[in-house]
Amino acid sequence: MTRTVKMRLKLLMGFLNALRMEPTTTANDPMIVDKNTIESTPMTILDASSYQLHDLDSIELPPTLIEIDLTANRLNKLDSRISNLSNLKKLSFRQNLFNDAGVEPISHWTGISGLEELVFRDNQLKIIPDVSIFKNLLVFDVSFNEISSMSGLSKASTTLKELYVSKNEVAKIEEIEHFHELQILELGSNKLRVMENMQNLTKLQELWLGRNRIKSINLCGLKCIKKLSLQSNRLTSMKGLEECTSLVELYLSHNGITKMEGLSTLVNLKVLDVSSNKLAAIEDIEKLTCLEDLWFNDNQLASLDGISEAVSGFREKLTTIYLEHNPCAKSSDYLTTLKQIFPNIEQIDSEVFA
């Protein structure tokens, strides 16, 4: 990760990370397709994104198609010709105008039952579509809709590896017990209050739960998670992470956490974000020898006295620290002291060193 990227990342993290705004699907080599004159043969990828199309009447859909990307159009009905594309693996209707009735026919489209990736992100769905015919589904994205319940997911294939339901109205984690292969679960920006029913997700590597109403951490015994976000929730304690020793990135900013604890076992941690909490001391991380990024801004650290012991394990490893908006950041020797403690520091707050 370059320094500029890292800085931008940090600046955007508080907002983006909770929602994970990055596109989940991008065609590897998207060709620009003129909707009136499609001429490449044999065509396997159709990228017809951003045409503001109301229908696909002007577009040819050759049977060789493997991927179709219809992002950013004005579609609200499924074109039944798609149901005959037996080679189709990826289908994206991201950012269109589909409602529940509009997507319903897909539940009978056995001709494309080999589909591996289905994206309805950013439409007007109120319920999870029935995707039970897709027995090989790996990626399913219904984020940025108006879905109020995870009900219906129990019908989705056990093969699923990535599930995106962020930015909806979901109040309860449920119907995911059969996703034994799931690696990524995104539920940010919903109405969740409790971390539950995740016991069977033993292969889960990324769990994104930012912008919810969660009051306490419960990983349901999962130990393989590498990236966890609980930013912008209602946590007052960070207890409950002790056994999740695979963690590499942990995001806990914008909560009401009062003490750093239960972190000493997380020896693989590289990024720790505890900014915008109520922390008065840097504690329990002296044994973390991999830590590269420590984000501690907007807390209540009064002084830098004794800090070098608290950070002894990663003193030479750390490249980025955010401490601004703590009382200690006002002292005149703030930068000098930090540079002395961390010989390889590349960035302090928004200041990047050559």
Ligand X SMILES: *[C@@H]1O[C@H](CO)[C@@H](O)[C@H](O)[C@H]1NC(C)=O
Closest contact distance (angstroms) between CB of 81 and ligand X is 5
Closest contact distance (angstroms) between CB of 224 and ligand X is 15
3-class DSSP state of 177 = coil
Contact status: 151 vs ligand X (CB under 6 A): no
Contact status: 80 vs ligand X (CB under 6 A): yes
Alpha-carbon span 60 to 76, nearest angstrom: 18
Closest contact distance (angstroms) between CB of 283 and ligand X is 36
DSSP 200: T
User: Which region, judged by CB under 6 A, interacts with ligand X, from 65-73, 79-87, 130-138, 245-253?
Assistant: 79-87
Site track for ligand X across 24-63, x = CB under 6 A: ----------------------------------------
- What's at 317, amino acid-wise? K
Query: Using CB under 6 A, which residues numbered 173 to 232 contact ligand X?
Result: 177-178, 200
Please measure the distance between the N-terminal and C-terminal CA atoms of the chain and give it in whole angstroms. 15
Identify which of residues 182 and 345 has a Cβ nearer to ligand X in the complex. 182
Identify which of residues 153 and 318 has a Cβ nearer to ligand X in the complex. 153
Identify which of residues 81 and 126 has a Cβ nearer to ligand X in the complex. 81
User: Which region, judged by CB under 6 A, interacts with ligand X, from 43-51, 80-88, 242-250, 291-299?
Assistant: 80-88
Closest contact distance (angstroms) between CB of 321 and ligand X is 42
Closest contact distance (angstroms) between CB of 41 and ligand X is 19
Closest contact distance (angstroms) between CB of 108 and ligand X is 12
The dihedral built from the CA positions of residue 176, 182, 183 and 185, taken in this order, carries a sign that is negative
Alpha-carbon span 192 to 61, nearest angstrom: 41
Q: Total residues contacting ligand X (rule CB under 6 A)?
A: 6
Identify which of residues 80 and 350 has a Cβ nearer to ligand X in the complex. 80
Contact status: 270 vs ligand X (CB under 6 A): no
Alpha-carbon span 219 to 242, nearest angstrom: 10
The candidate with the shortest Cα–Cα distance to 231, out of 175, 283, 298, is: 298
Query: Using CB under 6 A, which residues numbered 82 to 101 contact ligand X?
Result: 84
| Alpha-carbon 292 to chain mean position | 21
Alpha carbon separation from 28 to 31, 40, 152 (Å, rounded):
9, 16, 31
Element (H or E) spanning 10, and its range? Answer: helix 3-19
User: Which region, judged by CB under 6 A, interacts with ligand X, from 76-84, 190-198, 245-253, 336-344?
Assistant: 76-84
3-class DSSP state of 16 = helix
Q: Using CB atoms within 10 A of its CB, is residue 231 exposed (0-12), middle (13-18) or buried (19+)?
A: buried
Alpha-carbon span 120 to 258, nearest angstrom: 39
Contact yes or no for 262/269 (Cβ under 8 A): no
Alpha-carbon span 6 to 12, nearest angstrom: 10
Closest contact distance (angstroms) between CB of 56 and ligand X is 12
Of 35, 81, 191, 213, the one binding ligand X by CB under 6 A:
81
* Radius of gyration of the chain from its Cα atoms, rounded to whole angstroms: 23
Closest contact distance (angstroms) between CB of 310 and ligand X is 40
Identify which of residues 81 and 135 has a Cβ nearer to ligand X in the complex. 81
Contact yes or no for 150/127 (Cβ under 8 A): no
Cβ atoms within 10 A of the Cβ of 255, count? Answer: 22
- What's at 132, amino acid-wise? S
User: Which region, judged by CB under 6 A, interacts with ligand X, from 39-47, 48-56, 78-86, 139-147?
Assistant: 78-86
Closest contact distance (angstroms) between CB of 199 and ligand X is 6
Binding site for ligand X (CB under 6 A): 80-81, 84, 177-178, 200
